[in-house]
Chain A
Amino acid sequence: MKIVVCIKQVPATGADKRYTDDLRLDRNGVEAIINPLDEYAIEQALRLLDDGSVESVTYLSMGPEQAAEALRRALAMGGDEAVLVTDSALAGADEWATARVLAAALDKLAPDVALTGMASDDARGSLVPGAVAAMRNVPLLSYGSELKVADGEARVRRLSATGFDWIAAPLPVVASVTDQVGEPRYASLKGIMAAKRKPLETWSLADLGLAGEDLAGGALTHVTDARAQEAKPPTERIENLSAVEAAAKIADWLAARKLI
Chain B
Amino acid sequence: MTYLPTAEHDELRAVVRELADERIGPRAAAIDETSEFPHDLRELLARQDLLGTCFGEEHGGTALDTIAQSILVEELARADATTSLIPIVQKLGALPIILAGSDEQKDRYFPRLASGEWLIAFALTEAAAGSDVASNRMRATRDGDEYVLNGSKRFITHGSVADVLTVFALTDPAAGGRKGMSAFIVETDTPGFAAPRVEHKMGIRGSPTAELTFDDVRLPSANVVGAEGEGFKIAMETLDRSRLSIAAQAVGIAQGALDAAVAYAADRQQFGERVVDFQGIQWMLADMASQTEAARQLTYAAAARVDADAPDLPYWTSSAKLVAGDTAMRVTTDAVQILGGYGYITEYPVERMMRDAKITQLYEGTQQIQRLIVARQLLQRAGVARQG
Contact = CB atoms under 8 A, between A and B. Distances in A.
A150 to B, nearest CB: 28
Contacts of B12: 189, 192
B50 A189 contact: yes
Contacts of A189: 12, 15, 48-50, 53, 62, 64
A188 B72 CA distance: 13
A186 B48 contact: yes
A193 interface: yes
A186 B62 CA distance: 17
A227 interface: no
Q: Which of A188, A189, A191 has the most CB of B within 10 A?
A: A189
Contacts of B307: none
B62 A187 contact: no
Interface residues of A, number: 8
B373 interface: no
Contacts of A190: 49, 62
Nearest to A235: B267
A188 B19 contact: no
A191 B47 CA distance: 11
Contacts of B19: 186
Interface string B48-88: 11100100000000101000000000000000000000000
A189 B15 CA distance: 9
A190 B46 CA distance: 11
Interface in A193-252: 193
B199 interface: no
A192 B18 contact: no
B62 A193 contact: yes
B153 to A, nearest CB: 32
A188 B19 CA distance: 10
Contacts of A187: 15
B11 interface: yes
A188 B47 contact: yes
Contacts of B64: 189
A240 to B, nearest CB: 11
A191 B50 CA distance: 12
A193 B50 CA distance: 12
B113 to A, nearest CB: 15
B69 to A, nearest CB: 11
B11 A192 contact: yes
Interface in A49-93: none
Contacts of B48: 186, 188-189
Nearest to A191: B49
Interface of B: 11-12, 15, 18-19, 47-50, 53, 62, 64
Given A187-B15, A189-B53, 7 more contacts: A188-B47, A188-B48, A188-B49, A189-B48, A189-B50, A189-B62, A192-B12
- Which 4 pairs from chain A and chain B are nearest by CB? A189-B49, A190-B49, A188-B49, A188-B48
23 contacts: A186-B15, A186-B18, A186-B19, A186-B48, A187-B15, A188-B47, A188-B48, A188-B49, A189-B12, A189-B15, A189-B48, A189-B49, A189-B50, A189-B53, A189-B62, A189-B64, A190-B49, A190-B62, A191-B49, A192-B11, A192-B12, A192-B15, A193-B62
